[in-house]
Structure 1
């Protein structure tokens, strides 16, 4: 299963990000989305798991978007949350993947049996390369 991971678009979905996400069977967006238009564009590509970031908190369009989600991807119990500081210090042992954003710094780090992933920023406030 090909899963696209993106974060911190801040209202801008770059063409190279769209190209990288094409063919995904699911997309995870770790917050600071920026607008309903981004949600609509990503939803047109693949089913979307999405959380609000600190810059989305007061937006009317984002009022029904959760602050965190927990779900299963191909047997991987996944926690999706914007800020790594909001990840509980003692995660339930069943969580195997934690996806965050906020820092704009890419991260791939195994902590025990749990993979922590931050794709970096894909939007206006600095861009890590789309992969």
Structure 2
């Protein structure tokens, strides 16, 4: 299974993401979606799994949980928006990670792209960074990877460009609401 992973779109979807995720089997969004229109667009491209983030309204909170746990391609996955990072996980997730560690722990929120193995919990941590225009991040990023026979492989960090150099007349994306 080929996965396209993004987070922190804050209601804006770079149209180039569609090309980057064209060969993916599913799209996962790690919260701070920002717009129902955005999730509808993503779901038209590929099957969508998502969690809501702290800026998401009730419409998105009703549709997407705060936390998702599932198995795909032989990999146990947990995805939430606010999760911290190794070894400083958020207090709301650390006990669950210790009690039942997934193979892959995904979160967003920080706007910092990071992938690292946590040897203490024996899990791979992924944060795709921010794909949207809002926030203090300098470069917009998404991740692409494969889940196969219990392995996470072929990981790619895709840089969408600097957040500060977007041309509003050209880079319209999908507007919120």
Q: What is the TM-score when the length of structure 2 is the normalising length?
A: 0.68
1-side partners of 2:64 and 2:77: how far apart?
17
The aligned residue for residue 87 of structure 1 is 93
Q: Following TM superposition, where does structure 1 have runs of at least 4 consecutive aligned residues deviating by more than 3 angstroms?
A: none
Paired residues of 1:36 and 1:62 also in contact (CA < 8 A): no
Paired residues of 1:29 and 1:50 also in contact (CA < 8 A): yes
The aligned residue for residue 107 of structure 1 is 114
- Residue 123 in 1 paired to residue 132 in 2? yes
1:42-72 Cα shifts (integer Å, max 9, x gaps): 111111110000001x333432310000011
* Aligned-pair CA distance for 1:101: 0.2
Q: What is the TM-score when the length of structure 1 is the normalising length?
A: 0.90
Provide the secondary structure at the position in 2 that maps to 1:31. Answer: coil
2-side partners of 1:18 and 1:62: how far apart?
24
Aligned pair count? 129
Higher strand share: 2
Any unmatched runs of 5+ in structure 2?
84-89, 143-157, 159-177
Paired residues of 1:24 and 1:45 also in contact (CA < 8 A): no
Any unmatched runs of 5+ in structure 1?
none
Provide the secondary structure at the position in 2 that maps to 1:32. Answer: coil
* Aligned-pair CA distance for 1:73: 1.7
Larger Rg computed on CA atoms: 2
Q: Does the C-alpha gap of structure 1 residues 61 and 79 become closer, same or farther in structure 2, counting only changes over 3 Å? A: closer
* Aligned-pair CA distance for 1:88: 2.3
RMSD of equivalent CA atoms: 1.5
2-side partners of 1:53 and 1:33: how far apart?
7
Paired residues of 2:71 and 2:77 also in contact (CA < 8 A): yes
The aligned residue for residue 151 of structure 2 is none
The aligned residue for residue 96 of structure 1 is 103
